[in-house]
Amino acid sequence: MKKATSSSTLGPEGLDIAQSFFKPIQGAYPQSPSSRNIKITVVGVGNVGMAIAQTILTQGIANEIALVDVNVDKLRGEMLDLQHAAAFLPRTKISASADYSNTRGSDLVIVTAGARQITGESRLNLLQRNLSLFSKVIPPLAAKSPDSIFLIVSNPVDVLTYVAWKLSGFPSNRVIGSGTNLDSSRFRFLIADHLDLNAQDVQAFIVGEHGDSSVALWSSISVGGVPILSFLERQEIAYEKQTLEKIHKEVVEGAYEVISLKGYTSWAIGYSVASLARTILRDQRSIHPVSVLAKGFYGIDGGEVFLSLPAQLGRSGVLGVTNVHLTDEEAAQLRESARTILEVQGQLGI
């Protein structure tokens, strides 16, 4: 597929419009290449990939976005559709190609590509097909952008982040899974909805697997700096554990409900991944619950496993894992979540 690029020349003689249209001021030095150029590659232009690309574009996070997909017609169509909105958006170069050379020099590579589950297909068979796909996608991406950070969004995200880490040869701090960042946003929304306040004033984490074995850290939830459970106990306000478990269940089933209603999820994951991209590329050093190499944290051992923990992110990827206090029950649940993921990984033969 021919890749669209911007050009400052027009006409058969190649008239240099930029040089003719703008007259330099006296005493000016030639323009030097910007050292602040930021390039993001998005692999996969399905509903999730395009929601991520569109959100990144509207928020002005990157100077350049490269789209990659095997479906060349859809790929070019999505590129053109975004390019045609240039007059309403921050200036960003948008390119698209099925050739991985288009991704060269990326600062951040976001992978959303993945095989879709066939009716009646086992989870293990789906994982094997995704492993085959990643073995074709990850090595060339790593070769074209050896200093980049990989952000894996494809599901099951924890196992595929581990696969991407192994296939890329990157250090563990530069391979991150989107993990439970979105789950935690759903969690914060539900708590805020119960209390009738802004979700941004709620500090709450879902950790562990991005899936059924995730763990809600109720013991560390705070609203406006006030720990919720401690406050309820001091005020002698009764609450039932079943109520808390119901809210967590709503978090876990949230994506399934959206998919059953509209066929897929897109906007929330788009905003979630864009927030991670902004934190990483602008070195904001914010804390996000994302899938990281968790071995050695909170008693997790027995193998190399990626699962979500509250991690500080910055320009070099994962800067560290936050030492959040867990109750004995939460720590046990987190270790069980790790065992669940390790069991699946062990069947892949990596």
Q: Which residues contact 63 (CB under 8 A, 6 or more apart)?
A: 34, 36, 37, 38, 39, 91, 92, 93
173 marked as binding residue: no
49 marked as binding residue: yes
Of 134, 298, 125, 274, nearest to 208 by C-alpha is: 298
Active site residue 210: yes
102 marked as binding residue: no
Please tell me the number of Cα atoms within 13 Å of 319 on its side-chain side.
15
155 marked as binding residue: yes
Task: Identify each DSSP E strand in 38-79 by its residue range.
Answer: 39-43, 64-68
Residue of 210, 248, 288, 325 marked catalytic: 210
316 marked as binding residue: no
Q: What is the 3-state secondary structure (H, E, C) of 90-154?
A: CCCEEEECCCHHHHCCCCEEEECCCCCCCCCCCHHHHHHHHHHHHHHHHHHHHHHCCCCEEEECC
Q: Which residues contact 256 (CB under 8 A, 6 or more apart)?
A: none
Which two structure tokens, joined as six digits, stand for 54? 């569109």
Which two structure tokens, joined as six digits, stand for 20? 């003719």
**Helix axis angle, 328-346 to 123-144, nearest 10°:** 90
> Which H/E stretch holds residue 314?
strand 306-314
> Which H/E stretch holds residue 164?
helix 157-168
Write down the residue that tokens 């969004």 correspond to.
153
Of 191, 203, 219, nearest to 289 by C-alpha is: 203
130 marked as binding residue: yes
125 marked as binding residue: no
Give 199's DSSP letter: G
Helix (H, G, I), strand (E, B) or coil at 322: coil
45 marked as binding residue: yes
Residues identified as active-site: 210
Q: Which residues are annotated as a binding site?
A: 44-49, 69, 130, 153-155
Known binding-site residue numbers for NAD(+): 44-49, 69, 130, 153-155
